[in-house]
Structure 1
Amino acid sequence: MTDASPDDPHSPAVCLDVGSCSTKAVLVLPDGTPAGFAEHPTTPDVLTGVDAAVAAAAAAAGRGRRAAPRVLACSSAGGALRLAVVGAETLIATEAGHRVCRSAGARVVGVHPGPLETDAVLELSSRRPGAVLLLGGADGADPAVLLHNAGRLARTRGHWPVLLSVDDDDARADALGLLLAGGRAVTTCPNVTPQPGRIVAGPARDAVAALYARHVLGAGTGRFGALVHSATHAAVGAGAGVLARLTGTGVLVVDVGSATTDVHRGGPGPGPAAATVEGDLGVRDGAVGVLTEAQTEGIVDPVEADLLGPAVAALQESRATVPADRGAAAEDRRLAAIAAVVALRRHLRHTGVLADPAHPGTGPDTPVDAGEIGLVVLTGGVFRQRDAAGLAAAARTVRHDAVLAPLLARAEVRVDSESVLAPAGLLAAHGREVAAGGLLAEHLTG
C-alpha cells in the first residue's frame, strides 16, 4: 500500500483517522505542510472508505499518479463500548453502571435487575452489548441470583465478555466456572456494590477502560488490523503532548466525536497526557447523551433543550457528517460546545482538579489552581466548519462556563478548524516530530 519506511521523516505521509461515522485523511509533507484533505463516510467494511479517503487526499495534492505515500492510521471506528448491567436491584445497578462507565469510554445500554429470565435475556441481547457487567450484590448477599444469572449469560448467544464484580471467593469461583464453561471471556474485579447504598467504581472502571481500548479500534483483523495500531484518542493525546512542548505551557484538548468525547491534559514536561473518554457524549450516536447531561449539569435550560430536541433526534437517526444548512450547522456547533463543557467538567473532577458535587469526597473541597493551563483546544470533525463567528461562539461557551471559567481565566481557547491534532500525534508517534511540530505551529500556535 506504501513505498516508504514508516519511520522515514523525509517522505510524505497520509494521516488517517477512521471514526465511527466518517473517515478523514490528511496528506502531510515532511516539513509539516498539509497538502491534501479528504473525508469519506465510514463504510460497513471500513476498508472501502479508507481506500477512498486515502486516494482522494493524495489526489487533492496532485499525487494521484505517483506511488502512494505511507499511511499512518488511528481508529475510533468501534465507537463507545455498549455496557449492559445485570444486578439485583434497579436503582443501585443503574447508578453503579453509570459510575463505572463515566470517563472510561462506555455507555449503559440496559439494566436488568433480579434473576434473568427468558424475556430479560432476549431484551439484553437486543441491546447489542459490547460487554456485560455482572454485579454480585452487597457483601453477604445470597449468591443464588448471581449464580443463576451467570448460568443464563453463559448459555446466551453473543461474543461479548463479562465483567464479574463480586468479592465472595466461593461465589466468584462458582460464577466464573459457569461463565468459562459457556465459553465466555471473563474479567474479574472487586465488588462495585460492597455495601447497601455504597458504590466503589474505580477498579471496575479501570477494567471497562481496558475493554474500551480494545473495542474502539473496530475491525481488528486482516488489512485494517495491520494498518491501524493506535486508537484515535491515543493519537490526539500524543498531539496534545507535542502542542504542550511546542508552546511551553499546559494544554487541555477536547476531541468531540460522533460517538465519544475525550479530554487530554498535558504539560511541557515528559510523560503522557492524562486522558478521559466519555462514551455517552458525541454529536451523532452520542447526541442524546449530550442533551441529557447538559440538563443535569445545568448548562442547558428546558427551553433550549426543547429547541435542540428535534435536531438531536435527527442526528442520531441520520448519522449525517455534514450539516445541510446554516441552521443545522449552528445546532451542530452548539451541541459540540456543550459536549466539550460536560467532558471538561468530568475530566477535571475525575483527575481531582474539581470537587464533584454529586459525589462528595471524590475531589478537593475547593478548586485546585489550574493556572498552568495556558491553552485549551477544541478539535473534532464538527469544528471543520468555515464559520469563524460560529466557531468563536463555541470557544466562548467553554471559556465562560460557570464552573470552568475560574480555572481557565488565564488560558486561551482555540478551535482546531483544520483537524491537525490527531495527524500531529500520528506523526510524532512514528518518529516525525519535526513534521508534527510544523503542522501544529502553522495551524494552532501561529
Structure 2
Amino acid sequence: MFFPFMRVLMSTSDLIIIEVGSTLTKATALAGIGSGVARITAQAQALTTVAEGDAMLGVEAVLGRLRDSLNGAPLPAHMLACSSAAGGLRMAAIGLAQDMTVRAAKEACLGAGAVLRSVHSGKMKSRQLKQLLAEKPTVILLAGGTDGGDEETVLHNAGMLAQSGLQAPLIYAGNKECAPEIRELLKPYAGEWTMVPNVYPGVDELNILPARQEIQRVFSIHIVKAPGMQRLRERIQGQILPVPAAVLICAEKLAEQGEEILVIDVGGATTDVHSVTDGNAEFRHMALEPEPRSKRTVEGDLGVFVNAEQVMKETEGGDVQGDIRDLSPLPDAPAQRELSLKLGRKAVHVAVRRHAGKLVERFTATGKANSLVGKDLTAITLIVGTGGFLTRLPGAAQILREIPKPFDGRYLLPQPKARLAVDRDYIFSAAGVLALTYPAEALALAKTSIDKKVLF
C-alpha cells in the first residue's frame, strides 16, 4: 500500500537514498550531509521492476524523476540503498527448545528485517528438511543450546543441513562449546556459512545483536541475485539493508534521545510493529521469559490490500463491512478510502495486541500469581505511524489515537500519556539506512519528520 508523491524543496543535494520496495521504488535526495543536520531536497517514486527482469529499470526511472524535480541539476554520485524486493529477506530459524533458543533465533531474524518462512525446534526430521528445500530461504539461522549446555541437538541439525544440498547462507549462533565440531560438520555444506556468538548464551539471557548484524550483512551480499540488483549494488556505497531493519534502526536512534518508542507500518500485505522499550519496572519481575529491548513483529496476514480478506476474517477488532473487490492499492474513490481505513484500523488493533505482552494467571506453590508473557508496552512515550497507508491516506493517522489504552488487567498496551506522531516525510526507512554512516543527520531527519505539527 503506497500513496504517490513527488516533492522538491531545494536544488543542491549531497546524497541519494534508494528504497527498492516490492511494488514501488522511492528515491530521496538529501543536503547537509556532514553538517549534522540533513535536509530533504527532493523525493520521487516509480514502479519496481524486479518482476520485469531488471530492478535497475525502476531505479533509473525514479532517478530521472528526481532529476526532473531538481530542475535538471546533476544528481550526487553518493548513494545508499535498502530493499524489500524479490520477497525481501526470507529466513528459516532452527533451534533447540521452542520457548528458549528458537525464540531467541526468531527475535534475531525479525530484528534483522526478515520474514520468517519456517521455524523448527528439536532434532530435524527428513520431512522438515524437505520443507526447507521447498521454501528456498534467503538465509538460515542455526541455534541451539546455551553455552556449555545441550550439544546433541544442534550437532544433529548441523549434520542434516550439511548433507541437505541447501545453498542458502547459513549462520551458526548456538552453543559456543560446539564450535569445533560444527566447523567439521559444515565442511560439506553447499553454501557459505559463518559463526556468531550464541543468541541464547545462558538461561533468560538474549544476545541477538551479533546475529542480527550478520544477517543484514549476508542479505546485502545476496540480494544482488534479484534481477538487476547487482548493478544497483555497484552504484551504491555501504550495504543494502532490508527495509524493516532500516525502520527499526531509525526507531532505535530516536530511543537514544530518551524515548520509549512504538512504530507501526501498515502495508498492503503485512503490518509491521517495532518497539524499543525496557517496559515498566512494575511488571519486570513478573516476566516468564526475557524480551529484547528492540523488538519487531510482522503480521503476514494483516494487509489492507493483498491480505484484505484475511483482515476481514480476523475476529478481533470488530467487523469490517464492505466489498474487497472495490479495493485498490492506491485508493482514490470515497468508497475505496472508507474500506481501506476500516481495514487499516482493524489491522493496527490486532497487530499491536499481538506485539504486546499480557498478564496471565498461573498457579504456583504459594497460590495464584500473575506472570508477564511477551513485551510490556506500558512505558511507551511515543507512538509513530510510518509507511504509505498511515502517512499518505487522509484520515489514517487518526487510527493511532486508538492504540493507547488504560491498563485493563490483561494487555500491557501503551498508556494514554503516550504522544502520537506521523512520519510525515515518509523518511524512517531512509533515515535508518543513513544512520549507519551519518547518525546525527539521520536523527535530524527523523525528528524533523515527526515534529511537523503531527503530535496530537
The normalised TM-score by structure 1 is 0.64
Q: Which residue matches 2:20?
A: 18
Q: Which residue matches 1:387?
A: 394
Q: 2:18·2:27 contact (CA, 8 Å) conserved in 1?
A: yes
Mapped partners of 2:342, 2:434: distance in 1: 33
Offset from partner CA, 1:317-344 (integer Å, 9 cap, x none)? x9x8545832552255235524662476
Q: 1:261·1:282 contact (CA, 8 Å) conserved in 2?
A: no
- Corresponding position: 1:378 with 2:397: no
Q: 2:13·2:41 contact (CA, 8 Å) conserved in 1?
A: no
Mark the runs of 5 or more structure 1 residues left unpaired by the alignment.
Answer: 1-8, 267-273, 347-353
Name the count of aligned residue pairs: 391
Cα offset for 1:398? 1.6
Name which of 50, 60, 63 aligns with 2:59: 50
Q: 2:318·2:346 contact (CA, 8 Å) conserved in 1?
A: no
Give the stretch that moved more between structures: 432-441 or 250-259: 432-441
Cα offset for 1:280? 4.9
Q: Equivalent residue of 2:39, what SS? A: coil
Mapped partners of 1:396, 1:55: distance in 2: 38
Amino acid aligned to 2:118 = V
Mapped partners of 2:77, 2:151: distance in 1: 58
Name which of 344, 356, 371 aligns with 1:345: 356
Q: Equivalent residue of 1:250, what SS? A: coil
Offset from partner CA, 1:248-296 (integer Å, 9 cap, x none)? 8636251526567353649xxxxxxx643335568559998xx89xx9x
Amino acid aligned to 1:391 = A
Q: Which residue matches 1:224?
A: 232
Mapped partners of 1:243, 1:168: distance in 2: 34
Amino acid aligned to 1:224 = L
Offset from partner CA, 1:51-85 (integer Å, 9 cap, x none)? 222222333x253x442245643314263441143
Q: 1:398·1:404 contact (CA, 8 Å) conserved in 2?
A: no
Q: Which residue matches 2:185?
A: 178
Mapped partners of 2:219, 2:305: distance in 1: 15
Q: Which residue matches 1:126?
A: 134
The 5-angstrom pairing of residues 241-390 of structure 1 reads 250=259, 252-256=261-265, 258=267, 261=272, 263=274, 265=276, 275-280=294-299, 301=315, 304=318, 322=330, 325-334=336-345, 336-338=347-349, 341-342=352-353, 345=356, 360=371, 370=379, 373=381, 375-388=382-395, 390=396
Offset from partner CA, 1:182-224 (integer Å, 9 cap, x none)? 3551436559699xxxx75724x44542343225546257442
Mapped partners of 2:441, 2:124: distance in 1: 55
Mark the runs of 5 or more structure 2 residues left unpaired by the alignment.
Answer: 1-10, 33-37, 278-292, 363-369
Offset from partner CA, 1:27-53 (integer Å, 9 cap, x none)? 456683554432433625433322222
Q: 1:80·1:260 contact (CA, 8 Å) conserved in 2?
A: no
Mapped partners of 1:264, 1:401: distance in 2: 19
Name which of 42, 45, 56 aligns with 1:38: 45
Q: Which residue matches 2:105?
A: 100
Quick one: structure 1 residues 179 and 378, their matched pair in 2 at CA, closer, same or farther if it must change by over 3 Å?
same
Offset from partner CA, 1:113-168 (integer Å, 9 cap, x none)? 64533x4432221122320435469988794x755543331122232244556649
Q: 1:239·1:421 contact (CA, 8 Å) conserved in 2?
A: yes
Cα offset for 1:383? 1.8
Q: 1:36·1:57 contact (CA, 8 Å) conserved in 2?
A: yes
Q: Which residue matches 2:284?
A: none
Quick one: structure 1 residues 345 and 137, their matched pair in 2 at CA, closer, same or farther if it must change by over 3 Å?
closer
Cα offset for 1:395? 0.7
Q: 2:356·2:413 contact (CA, 8 Å) conserved in 1?
A: no
Q: Which residue matches 1:6?
A: none
The normalised TM-score by structure 2 is 0.63
Name which of 85, 88, 95 aligns with 2:94: 85
Mapped partners of 1:237, 1:149: distance in 2: 31
Q: 1:383·1:391 contact (CA, 8 Å) conserved in 2?
A: yes
Q: 1:74·1:235 contact (CA, 8 Å) conserved in 2?
A: no
Mapped partners of 2:64, 2:25: distance in 1: 12
Mapped partners of 1:74, 1:335: distance in 2: 32
Mapped partners of 1:304, 1:152: distance in 2: 46
Mapped partners of 2:100, 2:181: distance in 1: 26
Q: Equivalent residue of 2:379, what SS? A: coil
